[in-house]
Amino acid sequence: MIKVFPVRRRLEYSPFTSESEIQYLRSQEIIISPLKQADLIVAATFKRILPLILKYRNRKKFLIWTNEPRFATYFDSIVKYPLLPKLNILNVYTGIYTQNYMWVPTNIKLTPLTEFEFKNRKVVALMQYRNNLQKWSFKYKRKELDLCYLRTQIGLEGHKLNMFDVYGKFWPKHLKKGEPSPGKKRRQEKLEILQNYHFNLAFENTNWPYYCTEKIWDSIQGGCLPIYYGEDNAIYEDFPQNSFLDYCQFGDAGELFRYIQLMTPQEFIKRMNLCIEAFNIASKNREDTGMSPLNIEATVNKIREIF
Domain boundaries, given as residue ranges, for the chain: 2-94+292-306, 100-289
pLDDT category of residue 125 using cuts at 50, 70 and 90: very high
**Among residues of the chain, what percentage have pLDDT more than 90?**
94
What tens digit of pLDDT does each residue of 182-223 get?
A: 776 889 999 999 999 999 999 999 999 999 999 999 999 999
Domain 100-289 coded CATH 3.40.50.2000: yes
pLDDT category of residue 291 using cuts at 50, 70 and 90: confident
Mean pLDDT of the chain: 96
Q: What is the Cα–Cα distance from 146 to 141, expressed in whole angstroms?
A: 13
For residues 118, 105, 233 and 267, what is the CA-based torsion angle, rounded to 10 degrees?
-20
Q: What is the Cα–Cα distance from 228 to 245, expressed in whole angstroms?
A: 6
CATH fold, domain 2-94+292-306, is Rossmann fold (3.40.50)
What tens digit of pLDDT does each residue of 17-63 get?
A: 999 999 999 999 999 999 999 999 999 999 999 999 999 999 999 99
Strands 87-90 and 78-79 come out as antiparallel
pLDDT category of residue 176 using cuts at 50, 70 and 90: very high
